[in-house]
Structure 1
Amino acid sequence: MSGPVMPPAVLRFFQASQNRDAEAWSGAFAEDAFFHDPVGTPPLEGRAAVRDLVVSVITGFSPFLGLTPTEAHIAGDSVAVTWHGAAITRDRRPVNWSGISVFELDDTGRIREARAYFDRAAFQAQVDGG
């Protein structure tokens, strides 16, 4: 995947989403990470919870095409990334959405906290066929 320059864990987050690789996707996170998906909902706590979410996302579509980063802005241990997501529902309807995620990295370079900003209601309406 070519695209914006990002730290390895953030790059792995996006590549693994496109490869539908739950282990690599959740493996980008620290063991005790927090994931706000999206912001405004209770955060997931821990890599295992992130993995469970990722598995449900990947298996909920046919196929999940992934998240594609378009821009990345790095400031210290923080990275803000704009992205587009794409998937096909099990009844063959396209789902497209976009957002911005802000990643905070720990001292080992893994994601310790991620905050995803996107319109969950608009996303869900597409999934539901509305």
Structure 2
Amino acid sequence: MPAMPASVLRFFTASHAADAEAWASAFAEDALFHDPVGQPPIEGREAIHAFFADVLSGFSPFLGLTPLQAHTAGDAVAVAWHGSALTTAGRPVSWSGINVFELDGQGLISEARAYFDQAVLRAQLTS
């Protein structure tokens, strides 16, 4: 994995473990998660946890988001990634994007913005 702050590394590691609790633990209690950008943000760690649990339930298995490159500037980190999973019907799904993370004073993710083509993902899920 590329070098990145601990909470951002936890975000990606937990996605590979398909562990919604660990995934959400990378975020501050009052964090915002824009997934994807353009949608209303998910507000707070509890809501982020519920979001991840819901995402994971739609796959069997969710193989994770793999970081390809990470670039840190101060308290912000941009990470290019590739995602893969199998649907519950066994169809492979593949997508990619970039997340921009802002960290708080404790090193947790205070805000994350996910940039990816949601139509590409939806097309694979419905075909």
TM-score tier by shorter-chain length is over 0.9
Structure 1 unmatched ranges of 5 or more: none
**In structure 2, which of residues 29, 42, 48 is the aligned counterpart of residue 31 of structure 1?**
29
Q: Partners of 2:64 and 2:51 in 1: how far apart?
A: 14
Q: What amino acid is the match of 1:110?
A: L
**1:97 is matched with which residue?**
95
SS in 2 for 1:81: strand
What's the C-alpha RMSD, in Å, of the aligned pairs?
A: 0.5
Given the two structures, how large is their TM-score scaled by the length of structure 1? 0.97
What's the offset of the Cα at 1:20?
A: 0.6
Report the counterpart of residue 109 of structure 2 in structure 1: 111
CA distance in 2, matches of 1:90, 1:12: 25
Match of 1:11 among 9, 12, 27: 9
Matched positions, count: 127
Structure 2 segments unaligned to the other structure (5+ residues)? none
Do structure 1's residue 71 and structure 2's residue 89 form an aligned pair?
A: no
* SS of the residue 2:3 aligns to: coil
- Measured against aligned partners, the alpha-carbon deviations of 1:27-59 in whole angstroms (never above 9, x if no partner) come to 000000000000000000000110011001111
Residue type matched to 1:105 in 2? L
Give the Cα–Cα distance (whole angstroms) in 1 for the partners of residues 65 and 109 of structure 2: 17
1:58 counterpart = 2:23 = no
Determine what percentage of the aligned residue pairs are the same residue.
64
> Following the alignment from structure 2 to structure 1, what is the Cα–Cα distance between the partners of residues 56 and 23?
11
Q: Which has more strand, going by share of residues? A: 2
Q: Distance in 1 between matches of 2:115 and 2:37?
A: 6
- 1: CA distance, partners of 2:7 / 2:57: 23
CA distance in 1, matches of 2:89, 2:20: 23
